[in-house]
Amino acid sequence: DSGVTQTPKHLITATGQRVTLRCSPRSGDLSVYWYQQSLDQGLQFLIQYYNGEERAKGNILERFSAQQFPDLHSELNLSSLELGDSALYFCASSVDGREGGYTFGSGTRLTVV
């Protein structure tokens, strides 16, 4: 157990639907990162939050949004889902994002049918 908790582990939904992925960071970590891992594109950075505020944004689609709550857990919302959104979504956390490795959760596997 890495200390980063992601739920659910698996999600199957239909095109056009909306889903929410949840992440609880490791205790003491203030920064949360979301990555998308697909077979053909490796790990793509989506977005980073630090202590409740957005710090960096990557190639995140407008249909996707995220937030970090006062208790530091984070949610990634994916809407108007398309088949191409099927992927593994990882959350990672770090103390402050500086010069250190991240701790990853075990991921949420999203399948859009």
CA dist 72 → 27, 43, 81, 107 (Å): 9, 23, 26, 18
101 lines the binding site for other proteins (CB under 8 A): yes
Cα 105–Cα 110–Cα 113 angle in degrees, nearest 5: 175
The amino acid occupying position 74 is S
Applying CB under 8 A, the span of 17-25, 53-61, 63-71, 78-86 interacting with other proteins comes to: 53-61
Is 25 or 105 the residue whose CB approaches other proteins more closely? 105
Task: Return the range that interacts with other proteins (CB under 8 A); candidates 10-18, 22-30, 42-50, 79-87.
Answer: 42-50
Asked if 24 and 66 count as a contact pair (C-beta separation under 8 A), the reply is: no
Closer to other proteins by CB, 33 or 64: give it.
33
Residue 84 engages other proteins in binding (rule: CB under 8 A): no
The structure tokens 């970090």 sit at 68
Residue 102 DSSP SS3: coil
Q: Can residue 104 be called a binding residue for other proteins (CB under 8 A)?
A: yes
Provide the token pair at 64: 């996707």
Q: With respect to other proteins, which residue has the nearer C-beta, 71 or 99?
A: 99
Q: State the residues that interact with other proteins by CB under 8 A.
A: 2, 4, 33, 42-43, 45, 48, 55-56, 58, 90, 92, 96-107
